[in-house]
Structure 1
Amino acid sequence: MEKLNTKALILASITVVIWGSTFTAISSGLHGGYSAGHLVLVRFIIASFLFGVTALLPGGKIHLPKKEDILKILLIGWIGISVYHISITFGQLTVSAGTTGMLIGSAPIFTTIIAVIVLKERLGTIGWIGLSLGFLGILMIALGTGSSSSGISKGVFLVLLAAVSTAIFFVFQKPLLKKYNPIELTAYLTWAGTLPFLIFMPGLLQDIQHASMEANLSVIYLGIFPTAIAYITWASALSLGNASTVSNMLYIEPVVSIIVSWIWLHELPAPISIVGGIVAISSVILVNIYGKRENILIKKKIQHL
């Protein structure tokens, strides 16, 4: 069991490092001539093509999904892939890569809220304090995105929508991994999520031709690594290890995002955003570690009553 968990954590670590570079690569593509719609479309055309090739290979591990799961796969793909990536990419038109990484790092806060509402999980005092601190941290991050005259950048709300959608994605993806292997499920969700992106097809070739070499390489990188490989390694980690333990690795993603953005684009979030990011991530740790311990004690007391 220990070996299995170790493998899961290694896969999760690889995923988080790759995903941490995603926001900088998106900024590079946007600054290099791609529109937000064309960037997300090309990225997922590449990923969908790679999964299509995998499906056609002899002995490939991708088979047709069961009929009763098709609607569920479509809905999860549209929420976790389509909504998430449209929100992230358009949000980054006005929000820096490092700040985006910190806001997405708050996703476990929304996962906890979904667990309370949908799964009827209980939260103790520590859990609610942690959530309150988390939203304070998000507010501080958001305040650092705008100028003194404009206030909070509009892109913040899109990035927060992405955080909510990825929280839903993580919660509802796990049960499907009991039926399908990670490559299969990632392929299904990628194909489902790519369909809405086809509305951005007009003018695509002109964008590709006028984009810089760095922008084109960034989009190719996005299609291969964060979109195809990282989603597989994440799904593999979830299938091998405890979901909450594996998800704890997401705490590292904002740090990776800020470092990569600083090295690649020479940009750093505003000081208040960095402080807010520390508060938000600390609150996530508080909720997921101490809040859960308190929750277990509450359940034991209830059982003894």
Structure 2
Amino acid sequence: MHNKKWDFRIVCAHAFTILIWGTAFPGIRMGLEAYTPEHLTLLRLLIASLILLLFSLIYKLRLPDLKDIPVIFIFGALGFTIYHIALNYGEKSVNAGPASFIVSVTPILTAILASIFSNEKMKFNGWIGGVICLIGIAFLSLSQGDSIQLNSGVFLILLAAFSESLFFVFQKSYLKKYGFLPFTIYTIWSGTVCMLIFLPGIYQEIVTAPIEITLSVIYLGVFPTVLPYIALAYITSHASASEATSSLYLTPVTACIIAWIWLGEVPTFVSIIGGGITILGVVIAHLTFNKDDYKQIESEKVW
């Protein structure tokens, strides 16, 4: 029997994830006012790792197999260390809204890489969507300020999206083995360990940073870095992985609205056009992936 109560809970989980991840991009912009990109990443991941450690002790999370630890560290570096550092450096010159639109091409990059490395067929409209996204990103790269000029921060954010795509492409067998949430916890921990090389100097930044900026970094560590993954794990346990992430295409719109309210970042006309084109490309490319054409990852075990 179809349970409408479960449907309502899944919708709430989707809405929560979209809202919280939408706050991450303006939160990063605020954090960069007092923290370097490296220290912002480190502090955010340290906070997230501490919360997840307590969470794991309560629920008695089992440790990964010893032979998988080196690979998990590589995943942690790709999905969290490189991703966050590149995104933070990119957001030094790119506003929160455009940054979120650029990151939204991650599913397309993932599909392209999967077609190369995993022999997953990508249909024609997938490639068309990718080309449309590139046009949108070209607009976004010229959209900062009142004048039209190339913004190199766009390429750093594209690097972040590419790193995240590699993280998604090769994780399939480990998701099946450990489950969505445990694997995410392992990779956050390993990504945090990789960031420890930037530990020197972070204390000085903490004590000199305005309290409101430090609170925004704490917020980033608690909310966008931890809670949406728990919500996604819940959704994935009741639906396919593709359905769990499909509504995240609304995240850039949420990020633009929040950045406008929180930071006063009014979107330029060029950035609105570029963002709209990018989302159009992502949607067109996403239509390629249906149950008849591809085997989607379904994580039946969440914990």
Smaller-chain TM-score range?
Answer: 0.7 to 0.9
Query: Aligned pair 1:19/2:18, yes or no?
Result: no
Alpha carbons of structure 1 residues 109 and 2: separation in structure 2 relative to 1, 3 Å: farther
| Bigger mean CA offset, 122-131 vs 257-266 | 122-131
Query: CA shift at 1:82, angstroms?
Result: 0.7
Structure-1 residue corresponding to 2:300? none
User: In the alignment, which of 216, 219, 225 is matched to residue 218 of structure 1?
Assistant: 216
Give 1 or 2: higher helix fraction. 1
In the alignment, which residue of structure 2 is the partner of 1:68? Answer: 67
Deviation at 1:6, TM superposition (A): 6.5
Deviation, 1:128, is 2.4
Deviations 1:108-142 (A, max 9, x none): 22122112212223333333222211111111111
Change beyond 3 A, Cα 1:110–1:295: farther
Q: C-alpha deviations, 1:94-121, integer Å up to 9, x for none?
A: 1111111111112122122112212223
Determine if contact 2:14/2:247 at 8 Å carries over to the other structure: yes
Q: Distance in 1 between matches of 2:210 and 2:169?
A: 38
Alignment of 1:105-254 (within 5 A): 105-145=104-144, 148=147, 151-254=149-252
CA distance in 1 between partners of 2:170 and 2:17 (Å): 19
Partner SS for 2:121: coil
In structure 2, do the counterparts of structure 1 residues 2 and 174 end up closer, same or farther at CA, with 3 Å as the change threshold?
farther
1:81: Cα distance to partner? Answer: 0.8
| Corresponding residue number in structure 2 for 1:46 | 47
Gaps of 5+ in 1: 298-305
- Counterpart of 1:82, as a letter, is T
Q: TM-score, normalised by structure 1?
A: 0.87
Deviations 1:258-298 (A, max 9, x none): 01000100102322121111111111111111x3469849x
1-structure distance, mates of 2:124, 2:183: 37
Matches of 2:173 and 2:15, distance apart in 1: 22
> Where in structure 2 are there 5+ consecutive unaligned residues?
295-303
The answer for the alignment partner of 1:300 in structure 2 is none
Q: Distance in 2 between matches of 1:296 and 1:41?
A: 40
State the distance in 2 between where 1:7 and 1:227 align: 21
| Structure-2 residue corresponding to 1:30 | 32
Q: Distance in 2 between matches of 1:73 and 1:107?
A: 20
Deviates more, 1:8-17 or 1:277-286: 8-17
TM-score, structure 2 length as denominator? 0.87
2-structure distance, mates of 1:47, 1:294: 34
3-state SS of 2:224 partner: helix
Q: How far is 1:168 from its partner? A: 2.4
CA 1:10–1:71 in 2, change beyond 3 Å: closer, same or farther? farther
Question: Which amino acid in structure 1 is aligned with residue 176 of structure 2?
Answer: K
Distance 1:239 1:177 in 2: 12
Matched-pair contact (CA < 8 Å) for 1:131–1:287: yes
Alignment correspondent of 1:301? none
Shift of 1:156: 1.1
CA RMSD of aligned residues (A): 2.5
| Residue 302 (structure 1) aligns with | none
Contact 1:101 1:254 (8 Å CA) reproduced: yes
- % identical aligned pairs: 39
- Distance change in 2, residues 1:2/1:141 (3 Å): farther
183 and 247 in structure 1: CA distance in 2 versus 1, 3 angstrom threshold: closer
Task: Answer yes or no: is the 8 Å Cα contact 1:182–1:232 preserved in 2.
Answer: no
- State the match for 2:297 in structure 1: none
Q: By how many angstroms is 1:172 displaced?
A: 3.3
Q: Deviations for 1:67-91, whole angstroms, at most 9, x for unmatched residues?
A: 2322221111110111111111111
- C-alpha displacement at 1:197, in angstroms? 1.3
- Kindly provide the CA deviation profile for residues 124-165 of structure 1, in whole angstroms up to 9, marking residues without a partner as x: 33332222111111111112137747x322211111111112
